[in-house]
Amino acid sequence: MFFRGQVIGKYKILQPIGSGGFGTVYLAEDTWIDKKVALKVPHKQHLDFGELLREPRLLATLNHPNIVAILTAEKQENIFFIVMEFVPGVTLETIIARDGALDLARALDYTCQISNAVDHAHRSGVLHRDLRPSNVLVTDGGLVKVADFGTSRFLEIAAHGTTVIGSPPYMAPEQFQGKAVFASDIYSLGVTMYQMLTGVLPYATPSPADLDRLMTGELLSAPRLKNPKIPKVINDIILKAMAPDIHARYQRAGELLDDVLAARAGSRAARTPRAIVGAETAVDDPQEIQLRLKAREAPQTPRFCWHCRKPLHARSDHCPFCGERQ
């Protein structure tokens, strides 16, 4: 669509960054303010202007340090494109391909940041529907940015997303039936965790003949079988995130994040997730109840650690990255 050196409006095209099923992304320079930006050009240019604006309007509702920011949308020379912040770094997919299984601390660091992004989107009523390592950008400083919300959908538009969208190795069983819900993103996050900690996918890309086995969980083997260094509690968190039954899965990213933070802290709370042990063993003490009540009152605006400046979850009083009390 664009070529190197082309000037469109105030943007000078520097090079293509990548291309996917929904569009091509270019690195460009905003010549007015000498700033690098990313331009996403949707493949479908024939839609009416209102349809073209749906994605940027959706993404403009998401303002979070772990989500690639949308700056504006423009139409120049009869070409519609979305202007996004440029994130220097590499994709998580590239990191896994290069390094193989990541060490536990690094994998959980990335998990916490991705969970922050997904939790924020879900609280805004937005599903991602195509969460995977190639859509996760990592800067040299270790900051994670979730990208490509182009397949996203407001939950309010319908009871669930009804179009079969996603990347098969990362898709929850219900997505193959065109039914995407919040817990579908959690399944994709679980697959991403699995891949980060083992260096491989939990199973080959499911074929139509494998769908029944995917629905029953027969395709899935525990990540500890592929990497015995994975702690049992993290193993169980991944298996709960990837439960084939929606109701047995984490419903929100914040729930998964709570268990990961507890596991990282090595506290008493770092036990097998409640849905796995059973309700009869999940006895709440007064201190835990107070912490939950306090969490519900926590502000939803992004917070940063005073020490390492990485994004904090609203419910955290300790930084999950450097451990400093906030």
Residues that are catalytic: 130
Helix H or strand E encompassing 16: strand 11-19
Distant-in-sequence, close-in-space partners of 3: CB < 8 Å, separation ≥ 6: 13
Concatenating the DSSP letter of every residue in 110-135 gives HHHHHHHHHHHHHHTTEE-S---GGG
28 pairs with which residues across the strands?
13, 37
Residue given tokens 């994975």 in the structure block: 230
Q: Amino acid identity of 66?
A: N
Q: Using the Cα atoms of residue 233, residue 235, residue 239 and residue 241 in order, give the sign of their dihedral.
A: positive
Under DSSP, the state recorded for 219 is T
| Assigned token pair, 119 | 């939790």
Q: Residue 279 has what DSSP assignment?
A: G
The rounded distance, in Å, linking the Cα atoms of 149 and 61 is 12
| Phi, psi for residue 83 in degrees, rounded to 5 | -100, 120
Name the DSSP letter for residue 289.
H
Task: Confirm if 287 and 304 have CB atoms less than 8 A apart.
Answer: no
- Alpha-carbon separation of residue 4 from 13, 14, 15, 30, 45 (angstroms): 5, 5, 5, 14, 20
